[in-house]
Structure 1
Amino acid sequence: MLSARDLRVAFPGRRGAAEARAVDGVDLDLRRGEIVALVGESGCGKSTLARTLLGLVRPTSGTVGFAGKPLEYGGRALKAYRRRAQLVLQDPSGSLNPRHTVYDAVAEGLRIHRYGGDERAAVTGALARAGLRPPERFLLRYPHELSGGQRQRVVIAGALVLEPELLVADEPVASLDASVRGEILALLLRLRAELGLAALVVTHDLGLAWNIADRVAVMYLGRIVETGSVETVLTAPQHPYTRALLSVLPEAPGTPVILSGEAPDPSRVPSGCRFHVRCPVLAEGGAGHRGVAAACRTQDLPVLPATPLAHTACHWVAAGRTGGPG
């Protein structure tokens, strides 16, 4: 349904500084009815990638395809695409106009796309599918009169009202209480089962990915460094970055791996493996033991292919598979 090939997005630097490579070579596929979790720390390029896939950001190079056709960036083409692919934002309080009732918030998309059917029926149907029942109780309420979970359901209803084929959910439960997160995740799974929706879920939480996703793509500094089925990636992680992210989950065995510092500035992407400046395997001598320490520091890794198979962009992992450097 949705594909990216060698996707790159760079933003101009300030005052003559080098450009920031927010997305720096990504291949990604999303099939119909599939949920893919895009996971990584803040600032690794996840949200920029998601917005580029929706046509909200135009790529510097590479292509986005939808339903087998390349995405076109003319106004009419983008409007038609956004009816089929909808964004669900992290903060429902920020994405809902406080002066609009729930009815107006959900009906906004119908009015933009000049819906010709029964508007009230479409709005109440979307609210019911989003779990706000009976929907008539919510039509004249304002956002401040709702709980956080109810506001997020209104946002989801606003996306569903256009009957899209794809949802891109950017940290959909990050601002919600733990007791409500499970309800929203269960809702997304039910929508996939009932409507056949595909979803790209952007998150920093690998635990969320485990509960909702079919596949996981782990992103670091503009590039996907590990991808595969959720069971493969989260039960047998290969990349040192994925291992570190998993190690800090409450249920993870062993000692948490605390990464030093923050991810580098995307305008100063390190040479070689972009993770090598923080990599505990390199720092503790594991890469040297396999004879790839120099490669980690100097040799860039290829963009991972967009296939359902598990892939890892790591010199140390590759050397372990082949018995030596490679």
Structure 2
Amino acid sequence: MKPLLTASGLHITFPARRGAPPARAVDGVDLDIGAGEIVALVGESGCGKTTLARSLLGLVRPTSGSVTFGGAPLSYRSGALKAYRRRVQLVLQDPSGSLNPRHTVYDAVAEGLRIHGSPGDERTAVASALARAGLRPPERFFLRYPHELSGGQRQRVVIAGALVLEPELIVADEPVASLDASVRGEILALLLRLRDELGLSALVVTHDLGLAWNIADRVAVMYLGRIVETGTVEEVLSAPRHPYTQALLSVLPESPVPPVVLAGEPPDPSRVPPGCRFHARCQVLASGEADRAGLASACRTRDLPVLDGRGRAAACHVHGTP
């Protein structure tokens, strides 16, 4: 089966101040998302995952590389982008910031229909989207304002605003990060139900590997502008190969191993280190394991290839598949 969305050789750089090298926010990424598939894009803040997601939405034009949707390259002409954004919708982290406090729920959900000039009965479409998002009976919410809703209800309104256009793919950026723990499970269950009932695909951007375990079919772990490990959720989270993935998993409450405390902060994306970009913080290198395997020099000096975005792979000289 051909993927629904494909990113190939994606690079995104931003100019730096005072003559510094440009920041390589996305530094070579291949990624596939299949029809009806949920992919979790995981990593620390600042690793480039939100910039990558915005590029897949057509909000940031890549410096090089391409995005393909439904077998056709993404065009950046205004008319083509408008049509594309009907098929690919964004769900943001903070529902309070996503909703205009002066608009009713009805107007918030109907906004996309009005922008795209959708035919058909608007009231029926809005009611159907709210019901699919779990707000029933939908008419009871039409005239409410965001401040009259709970956090979970506001996030459902945001999701309904995406669903009303009947997209094929949703990009959800930290969709439950601002919600109480009791509500997170409901929203994740909703996304899974939409996948099962509508065949909806989703890219879920998150720093939480526990969330990925509960919702994703596949996981892509990102560090300093590149995907460093990919695989099914069971493969990556049950037997992580990359030291960075191992460190992220070690701090989960249910982890069977002691927490791995990474030294320092992620490097500046305008000064990506040579060799493995994780080597300055790598516990495998620091422990002497890489040296015993005769690979310490390679870790520090030899770059790793871009992962192809599918199958099981890790960009690590010691434990991966270079």
Which residue of structure 1 lines up, in the alignment, with residue 146 of structure 2?
A: 143
Matched, 1:103 2:110: no
- Cα deviation for residue 15 of structure 1 reads 2.3
- Cα deviation for residue 107 of structure 1 reads 0.4
Matched, 1:85 2:118: no
- Cα deviation for residue 306 of structure 1 reads 2.3
Figure out how many residues of one structure are paired with residues of the other and give that number.
319
Which residue of structure 1 lines up, in the alignment, with residue 177 of structure 2?
A: 174
Which residue of structure 2 lines up, in the alignment, with residue 37 of structure 1?
A: 40
Matched, 1:317 2:319: yes
* Secondary structure in 2 matching 1:173: coil
Matched, 1:188 2:179: no
Q: Which amino acid aligns with 1:17?
A: A
| d(CA) in 2 for partners of 1:14, 1:114 | 42
Matched, 1:285 2:265: no
Which residue of structure 2 lines up, in the alignment, with residue 259 of structure 1?
A: 262
- Cα deviation for residue 207 of structure 1 reads 0.4
Alignment of 1:66-85 (within 5 A): 66-85=69-88
Matched, 1:112 2:120: no
Which residue of structure 1 lines up, in the alignment, with residue 246 of structure 2?
A: 243
User: For the aligned residues, what is the CA RMSD?
Assistant: 0.8
- Cα deviation for residue 116 of structure 1 reads 1.6
| d(CA) in 2 for partners of 1:38, 1:306 | 11
Q: Which amino acid aligns with 1:109?
A: G
| d(CA) in 1 for partners of 2:91, 2:221 | 20
Q: Deviations over 1:135-181 (max 9, x none)?
A: 11111111111100000000000000000000000000000000000
Which residue of structure 1 lines up, in the alignment, with residue 230 of structure 2?
A: 227
| Deviant stretches of 4+, over 6 Å | none
| d(CA) in 2 for partners of 1:148, 1:17 | 42
Q: Which amino acid aligns with 2:45?
A: S
Which residue of structure 1 lines up, in the alignment, with residue 210 of structure 2?
A: 207
| d(CA) in 2 for partners of 1:123, 1:258 | 48
Q: Which amino acid aligns with 1:81?
A: Y
| d(CA) in 1 for partners of 2:160, 2:207 | 24
Q: Deviations over 1:215-241 (max 9, x none)?
A: 000000000000000000000000000
Q: Which amino acid aligns with 1:255?
A: P
- Cα deviation for residue 317 of structure 1 reads 1.3
Q: Which segment drifts farther, 125-134 or 13-22?
A: 13-22
Q: Which amino acid aligns with 1:64?
A: V
Given candidates 9, 14, 18, the residue that maps to 2:17 is 14
Which residue of structure 1 lines up, in the alignment, with residue 97 of structure 2?
A: 94
* Secondary structure in 1 matching 2:184: helix
Which residue of structure 2 lines up, in the alignment, with residue 271 of structure 1?
A: 274
- Cα deviation for residue 262 of structure 1 reads 1.3
* Secondary structure in 2 matching 1:44: coil
Q: Which amino acid aligns with 1:286?
A: E
Gaps of 5+ in 2: none
Q: Which amino acid aligns with 2:56?
A: L
Which residue of structure 2 lines up, in the alignment, with residue 3 of structure 1?
A: 6
- Cα deviation for residue 261 of structure 1 reads 1.4
- Cα deviation for residue 254 of structure 1 reads 2.0
* Secondary structure in 1 matching 2:234: helix
- Cα deviation for residue 43 of structure 1 reads 0.4
Q: Which amino acid aligns with 1:145?
A: E
Q: Deviations over 1:224-272 (max 9, x none)?
A: 0000000000000000000000000000012100111111111111111
Normalized against structure 1, the TM-score is what? 0.97
Which residue of structure 2 lines up, in the alignment, with residue 51 of structure 1?
A: 54
Which residue of structure 1 lines up, in the alignment, with residue 67 of structure 2?
A: 64
